[in-house]
Structures are given as structure tokens and as C-alpha cells.
Amino acid sequence: MSLIGTKWKPLVLFHLLEGPLRSGVLQKKVPEISNKMFTQTVRELETYGLISRKVFPVVPPKVEYRLSARGKSLGPILQSLDQWGFEDCGLS
């Protein structure tokens, strides 16, 4: 379960639950993430087949990320985790 065994993957997946987002927007939803970790994270999620990456050949570049079917199947789990985090106060 190296999907959740990182600081950022669950967060990124979580923000995609509501729908596809382009790279910049997604990254702004996770303000503390460094540029490097962001691309690294989405690349790994893509490798695992949890999200798909769609590149529009325009300038400046435009890239959109969306959950794959497999990624969507994580939805309930991510939401449970999120909810659990709120219910049971600050664990950090």
C-alpha cells in the first residue's frame, strides 16, 4: 500500500475526486507541496494507474489530470479517511 504510504498521494487523489483538474490548479489545492514533489507524485500515481494524464499540445502547456477507474475505486476510502481525520481531532 505505497499509495497512502506517502505524504502527498492521498491528498492529491482526494482533490481529484470531484473531477479532472489541470496541473496548476491541482497543485494550488495543495499549497505546501513543492514543485518537485507534485510532479513526482502525479507521475507515480499515473504509473500505478490511479490517474491519467492528458496533455494538450498548446503553448503554454496545458495538462489535465483525472482519476482512472481504479483511482475512483479509492474514493470511498479516501473520503472515509478524510472524515475520520476530522471526527477524531488533531493527529497530524
Asked if residue 65 lies in contact with residue 13, where contact means CB atoms within 8 angstroms, the answer is no
What is the residue type of 5? G
Q: Is 68 in the site for a second copy (CB under 8 A)?
A: no
* Phi, psi of 37, deg, nearest 5: -65, -30
How many CA atoms within 13 Å lie on the side-chain side of 45? 31
46 binds a second copy, rule: CB under 8 A:
no
Shortest separation between residue 18's beta carbon and DNA, angstroms: 17
Residues 32 to 51 in contact with DNA, rule: CB under 7 A: 32-37, 39, 42-43
Binding site for DNA (CB under 7 A): 2, 5-8, 22-25, 27, 32-37, 39, 42-43, 53, 55, 59-63
